[in-house]
Amino acid sequence: MDGALVRRGGPVAAVVLVALVVRLVVLRTPLAALNGDEAVVGLMAERIGDGHLYAFFAGQGYMGALEQYAQAAVVAVRPGDPFALRLTTALLSSAAAGLVLVVGRLLLRSERRAVTAAAVYAVGPAFNVLDGVTTLGAYADALVVGLIGLWAALRPGAPTARRSAALGLCCGAGLWLTPVAAFLLLPAGVWFVGALRGLGRRRSALLVSVAAAAAVLGSLPMWLWAAAERRVPLLGSEPPVHASLLDRFAGLVDSTLPEAAGLAWIGPSSVLPRPVLVAFSAAVLLAGAVLAWRRRTSLLQTVLLRSEGRDPRDLLLVALVLGTLLYVASPFTWYAASPRYLFPATPWLVWALAAALPARRGVPAVAVAAVAAVSWATLASAQQGRPASWTSDLRETMSWLRGQGVEGVYADYRSAHTLDFVDRADAPPVVPFEGVPCRFPELDRAVAAAGRVAYVSSPAKREALERALTQRRVPVAARHSTATLEAFVVDGTAPVPWRLGLEPRPWCAGS
């Protein structure tokens, strides 16, 4: 019994450990510079520690807040530390590597292929590793919840009340956390419903009722928030760019899928020539179509929700089709500079790779090494020219602003809440001057009441800010520069940002 446990649990522990080491290494590189959304998460964690409760990402009614309650304990011990803030995300994404192995055993029906998939997931692809240490809200939570739900659905034997409850709980939690959990949970639902077909109507109805009740429980924070706020949850703002279905599909093929596979970087800036990237995406879709035809008999059984004659490996094809449809259907996937929306779908990529490899000795090791080499080449290429001084520049700028007697600061989104998070000791409050939702009303009120105000910008917005101050002839009393930040202390009464011609920003209610 003990030997069997070691044989089953040893590989899981090994891939989790490797994944964690890889992610902690990336956390120490300039690629892991804290961004504006992550800083919002850090401020949420601080406020949770002070007794403030969040159901969603601050200032909006979607992207559930779950991991932030664990992060609250971390920032209480290490306040203002970006590395410590992301430890929970690194742990979740490392645990996901173990779950990729556990689910892979059920999905691929092969220990060797499941281990290969998990090993690939532990060391790559590039964006999977980086997103695995980037705390953007609920993506890591949704990944783990989705994998657990898929595991519950794929367990051998007829569905039980316990497994139905587990799947329902994960579906409810996924709905609350982020809809991208559907990349894992929809195929799980397809398999679960098919398994019910072999049961009687009464038994099936009972299990569906159990799953539905568990789903309500899993999404309970969302409904409590809706009742308290008298608002409909999950409704985001209008996307700033309206892309057609064809444009979104083109973005998936041209940018997002190669990025998710570790072959390209933001933009994409590629390690491989751009035609190779498009050819890769086309090959993935074509291979899926060919495989669907070759496995049409068992695939049809799965699609028609039948329990006889189906094969769990057919879910790889189901996931490809459903994932493509989900991605193209969302108006928010106009944004193709990062594959963050595909982060919970990455397990399907590594499972598909493991399933496609020839069953020859040495091939899995070569595949893992190749993925690691390409992914790390991508990460190394993306690091070039990125200053390592971001966090120290933030702290230096806040110290200088404090010394200037500044009482409130307007900054671009990348800088604003990062300044708030890394240094709160008697520091002036900082809010964004860009057109983003108001996250923390008390900060807006404090800046609005400030007598001595400064403007701060990172390189991307520095030129626009400096031009706006010059054109409006706003007197600058003092100026401070670092490698990554520029700060201007305004002399006299400072005009609010939208009067400088900068982007209008929704004002906070009551501020």
Q: What is the 3-state secondary structure (H, E, C) of 380-412?
A: HHHHCCCCCCHHHHHHHHHHHHHHCCCCEEEEC
Reply yes or no on whether the pLDDT at 511 is more than 50: no
Question: Please, what sign has the CA dihedral across residues 164, 165, 168, 169?
Answer: negative
What is the pLDDT averaged over residues 244-266? Answer: 82
Q: How many helices (H) and strands (E) does the chain have?
A: 23, 5
Which of these ranges, 57-61, 319-323, 366-370, 433-437, has the smallest mean pLDDT? 433-437
Average pLDDT over residues 455-482: 86
> What whole-number distance in Å separates Cα of residue 429 and Cα of residue 451?
12
User: What is the distance between the alpha carbons of residues 81 and 58, in angstroms, rounded to a whole number?
Assistant: 20
- Residue 352 or residue 289, greater confidence: 352
Q: Is the pLDDT of residue 510 over 50?
A: no
d(CA 174, CA 181): 5
pTM listed for this prediction: 0.92
Cβ-based neighbour number of residue 38 at 10 Å: 23
pLDDT band with cut points at 50, 70 and 90 for residue 5: low
Given a cut of 90, whether residue 115 has pLDDT beyond it is: yes
Q: How far is CA 244 from the centre of its chain?
A: 24
pLDDT at 443 over 60: yes
- Which sequence spans correspond to the domains of the chain? 2-383, 390-500
- Of 148, 155, 165, 145, nearest to 191 (Cα)? 155
Mean pLDDT of 415-434: 88
> Lowest-pLDDT range, 70-74, 297-301, 332-336?
332-336
Choose the weakest-confidence range: 259-268, 478-487, 491-500: 491-500
Sheet strands (E) in 332-467: 408-411, 430-432, 453-457
Q: Is the pLDDT of residue 359 over 80?
A: no
Q: What is the pLDDT of residue 271?
A: 60
pLDDT surpasses 80 at 269: no
Q: Residue 227: CB partners within 8 Å, gap ≥ 6?
A: none
Tell me the pLDDT of the chain averaged across its residues: 87
pLDDT tens digits for 31-56?
888 999 999 999 999 999 999 999 99
Mean pLDDT value across residues 271-288:
77
